[in-house]
């Protein structure tokens, strides 16, 4: 297979990897932000992503809202959901051991999955089509869906905006202060609760953007659709160095490219593609326990 | 020698069974309801298929709510499209709900997961649309009303080779699904035999249930330039796969198996699944029996706004009716008596055809329906009969 691969096939695979990796990156940022502030792996993040997909599905296919209105509502609702989850499930446990928080996160994850199954049925819903984004353009032997190019552009744009927020704004400064030293930040008069709420809101907003782009590319909406992407993006965040935004993007891209390239070079192993994510995770943790760009000690889960 | 030995074994088995079951069977005889378990995926990846089968069972139950003068009560258990949950769900039906027989499940893997449970508890089960041979093989308590994958694989290989004139085929299979892997293998065997070309299968790609990105596999396949892609698998994954294949500029026909015939295959796949061809069990525009005509009429009365009658719903109906027939012939709701009556089912007129249960517990069926997606509907294309 490797011998027979032409340049155009290889380039096609690179495009596949770039768009998949950028989607992972968008979702991984949410994990990494929450971890940076609260030292919490927010296991409900994948399910927040799933809820965003349902919000968008209902907006367009059930309430017949224009797509741009739906997208704005989806992002806002998801941000509210993320901040709401923090208020209900994590804030009461602020002083409790970290393990309690983690278990609470897993509980929220199950709650959202089962709630979605109960409310929206276990059957897949078809996400509306966006022909502008999905009609492929053929260049040479390559087929490129506009969405595959839009995804990395949006991902890098949002990463830049986020880095600007974190490094240049007051909220960002407060976030960095909280992540360095929680108690001292509190003593300095930083409104911890507001900072944490905005962190959850931003992380969830990015998950919503990820969900919108994901559904344009893979147009089916299911209650359990967030489980595997959630797990993989968590891995991506760890690979890049959890707590580091650039690391999350890097980790997402590494994961996306390795999955697709494994399929390209070892076609007989394609069934093990999910295992690749875990193998990479183990290798990275063995040699770089803090991830590629991470600085702080990673707490064991 | 061998025959007498198996007879002896059977006798020993029956002896232990009657000894072990006498307590429970008297209690179920005394109650005024007969409990039948329905074991289906109602959530998760296979939910749409499970729901269609359940509708068939429920329709049959509405039309024939009584047997032996007792009310038949359906106890529905959700196996959540998960093999581990499937064993739990089957065990719960048997131990907690004390059902006398089980119908289901959609999905061979899920039925196989429950195989040992029904066997060790000696409760008869009828697989409705589970086509993998392993479901009934070596299990005296699992029966089925549909055809098997060696047959279905041959039907689709014939279609690809003779009707489509394919010489090179690429296969994409759902590796975590016994149905898909089995069907892909039987198709491969049949196609290489038909074409006489050992390298007729130019590429095989694997994916897992729940996967959404198939671009990597499809890019490989595109490079091998096949005449046909055979992609048996779950409906959502298959619809996404076909969409992505078309987006990559793959124009060859894409064909699959019976699991595609769900509404979600068309709603998720949209315009891209137009022309997708699959083998299935039943054609509602031309039912093969009087029972089939009755079933279609009743179905349309119940669901007047549905476009067509799914084949697996017809099988759900057949499974229930065949079970009622067996209970009537057995004259009791004792699981062992039902099992023995099921095993001797001969020329039972079902909606999907006349059913005779063979020594393996399988329905002997030798014809399949080939359907194509046309204008967003599953449309009859051909009936294929193969005598082996």
Query: What is the DSSP annotation of A206-275?
Result: HHHHHHHHHHHHS-EE-TTTTHHHHHHHHHHHHHH-TT-HHHHHHHHHHHHHHHHHHHHH-GGGGGGHHH
Q: Find all residues with CB under 8 Å of B298, minimum gap 6, and list them.
A: B59, B63
Q: Is residue A173 in a domain?
A: yes
Confidence of residue A4 (pLDDT cuts 50, 70, 90): low
The mean of the pLDDT values for chain A is: 90
Which range (A115-119, A264-268, B69-73, B121-125) has the least confidence?
A264-268
Which range (B74-78, B233-237, B382-386) has the least confidence?
B382-386
Bridge-based pairing of strands B142-144 and B125-127 is parallel
Q: Is B300 left (phi over 0), alpha (psi -120 to 50) or beta?
A: alpha
Residue A298 has a pLDDT of 46
Using the Cα atoms of residue B2, residue B6, residue B9 and residue B11 in order, give the sign of their dihedral. negative
The answer to whether the Cβ–Cβ distance between B219 and A12 falls below 8 Å is: yes
Q: Is residue A297 in a domain?
A: no
Name the pTM for this structure.
0.87
Q: For position A177, which CATH number holds?
A: 1.10.3470
Residue B262 has a pLDDT of 92
Q: Is residue A30 in a domain?
A: yes
Distance from CA of B224 to the nearest CA of A (A): 9
DSSP state of B272: G
Q: Is residue A185 in a domain?
A: yes
pLDDT at B28 over 80: no
Q: Is residue A2 in a domain?
A: no
Residue B179 has a pLDDT of 93
pLDDT at B322 over 50: yes
Residue B5 has a pLDDT of 53
Q: Is B331 left (phi over 0), alpha (psi -120 to 50) or beta?
A: left
Q: In order of start, what are the domains of chain B with their CATH numbers?
A: 2-147+288-357 (3.40.50.2300), 150-280+369-385 (3.40.50.2300)
Confidence of residue A243 (pLDDT cuts 50, 70, 90): confident
pLDDT, tens only, A30-59: 889 988 888 888 999 999 999 999 999 999
pLDDT, tens only, A55-86: 999 999 999 999 999 999 999 999 999 999 99
Residue A300 has a pLDDT of 43
Which range (A157-161, A260-264, B34-38) has the least confidence?
A260-264
Other C-beta atoms closer than 10 Å to the C-beta of A193 total: 12
pLDDT at B2 over 60: no
Among all chains, which residue has been given the structure tokens 């509907």? B377
Q: What is the ipTM of this complex?
A: 0.88
Domain containing residue A214:
7-119+153-287
Confidence of residue A250 (pLDDT cuts 50, 70, 90): very high
**Which residues of chain B have a CB within 8 Å of the CB of A264?**
216, 219-220
In angstroms, the CA B220 to CA B188 distance is 19
Interface of A with B (CB under 8 A): 1, 4-6, 9, 12-13, 16-17, 20, 117, 121-126, 129, 134, 136, 138, 143, 145, 214, 217-220, 222-225, 227-228, 259-260, 262-264, 267-268, 270-271, 273-274
Chain A residue with CA closest to B225: the answer is: A9
Picking from A218, A228, A270, the nearest residue to B240 by CB comes out as A218
Q: Is residue A1 in a domain?
A: no
**Number of domains within chain A:** 1
Picking from A122, A124, A228, the nearest residue to B42 by CB comes out as A122
Residue B20 has a pLDDT of 42
Q: Is residue A295 in a domain?
A: no
The mean of the pLDDT values for chain B is: 90
Q: Is residue A179 in a domain?
A: yes
Query: How many residues appear in chain B?
Result: 388
Q: Tokens for A194, please give them.
A: 């507001």
**Region B35-39: what's the mean pLDDT?**
95
DSSP state of A2: T
pLDDT at B6 over 70: no
**Region A109-122: what's the mean pLDDT?**
92
Confidence of residue B357 (pLDDT cuts 50, 70, 90): very high
- Chain A interface mutation, best of B170, B223, B273, highest count of A Cβ atoms under 10 Å: B223
């Amino acid at each position: 297979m490797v011998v027979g691969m032409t340049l155009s096939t290889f380039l096609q695979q690179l495009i596949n990897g770039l768009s998949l990796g950028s989607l992972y990156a968008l979702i991984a940022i949410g994990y990494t932000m929450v971890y940076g502030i609260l030292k919490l792996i927010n296991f409900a993040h994948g399910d927040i992503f799933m809820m965003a997909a349902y919000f968008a599905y209902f907006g367009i296919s059930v309430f017949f809202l224009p797509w741009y209105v739906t997208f704005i509502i989806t992002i806002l609702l998801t941000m509210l959901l993320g901040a709401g989850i923090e208020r209900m499930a994590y804030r009461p446990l602020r002083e409790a051991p970290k393990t309690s928080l983690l278990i609470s996160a897993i509980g929220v994850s199950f709650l959202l999955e089962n709630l979605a199954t109960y409310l929206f049925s276990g059957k897949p819903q078809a996400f509306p089509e966006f022909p502008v984004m999905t009609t492929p353009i053929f260049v040479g032997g390559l087929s490129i869906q506009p969405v595959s190019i839009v995804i990395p552009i949006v991902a890098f744009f949002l990463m830049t905006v986020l880095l600007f927020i974190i490094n240049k704004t007051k909220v960002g400064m407060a976030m960095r202060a909280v992540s360095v030293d929680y108690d001292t930040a509190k003593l300095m008069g930083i409104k911890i609760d507001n900072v944490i709420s905005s962190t959850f809101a931003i992380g969830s907003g990015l998950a919503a953007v990820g969900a919108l782009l994901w559904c344009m590319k893979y147009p089916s909406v299911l209650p359990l659709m967030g489980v595997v992407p959630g797990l993989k993006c968590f891995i991506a965040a760890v690979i890049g160095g959890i707590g580091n935004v650039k690391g999350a993007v890097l980790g997402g891209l590494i994961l996306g490219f390795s999955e697709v390239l494994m399929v390209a070079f070892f076609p007989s192993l394609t069934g093990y593609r999910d295992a690749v994510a875990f193998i990479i995770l183990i290798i990275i943790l063995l040699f770089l326990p803090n991830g590629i760009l991470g600085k702080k000690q990673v707490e064991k889960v | 020698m061998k025959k007498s030995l198996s007879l002896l074994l059977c006798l020993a088995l029956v002896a232990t069974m009657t000894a072990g079951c006498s307590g429970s069977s008297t209690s179920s005889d005394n109650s005024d309801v007969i409990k039948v378990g329905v074991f289906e995926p109602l959530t998760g990846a296979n939910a749409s298929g499970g729901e269609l089968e359940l509708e068939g069972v429920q329709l049959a139950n509405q039309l024939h709510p009584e047997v032996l003068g007792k009310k038949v009560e359906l106890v529905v258990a959700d196996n959540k499209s998960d093999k581990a949950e499937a064993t739990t769900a089957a065990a719960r039906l048997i131990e907690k709900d004390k059902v006398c027989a089980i119908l289901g499940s959609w999905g061979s893997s899920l039925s196989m997961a429950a195989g040992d449970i029904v066997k060790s508890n000696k409760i008869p089960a009828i697989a409705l649309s589970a086509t993998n041979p392993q479901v009934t093989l070596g299990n005296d308590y699992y029966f089925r009303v549909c055809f098997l994958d060696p047959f279905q694989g041959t039907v689709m290989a014939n279609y690809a080779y003779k009707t489509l004139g394919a010489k090179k085929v690429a296969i994409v299979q759902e590796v975590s699904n016994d149905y898909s892997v089995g069907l892909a293998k039987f198709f491969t065997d049949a196609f290489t035999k038909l074409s006489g070309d050992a390298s007729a299968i130019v590429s095989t790609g694997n994916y897992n249930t729940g996967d959404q990105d198939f671009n990597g596999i499809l890019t490989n396949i595109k490079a091998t330039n096949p005449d046909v892609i055979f992609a048996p698998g779950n409906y959502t994954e298959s619809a996404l796969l076909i969409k992505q294949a078309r987006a990559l500029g793959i124009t060859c026909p894409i064909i699959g198996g019976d699991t595609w015939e769900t509404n979600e295959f068309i709603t998720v796949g949209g315009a891209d699944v137009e022309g997708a061809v699959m083998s299935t069990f039943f054609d509602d525009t031309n039912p093969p029996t009087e029972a089939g005509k009755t079933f279609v009429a009743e179905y349309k009365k119940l669901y007047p706004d549905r476009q067509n009658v799914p084949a697996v719903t017809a099988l759900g109906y057949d499974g229930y009716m065949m079970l009622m027939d067996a209970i009537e012939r057995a004259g009791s709701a004792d699981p062992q008596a039902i099992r023995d009556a099921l095993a001797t089912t001969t020329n039972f007129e079902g909606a999907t055809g006349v059913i005779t249960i063979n020594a393996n517990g399988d329905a002997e069926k030798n014809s399949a329906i080939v359907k194509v997606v046309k204008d967003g509907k599953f449309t009859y294309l051909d009936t294929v009969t193969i005598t082996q």
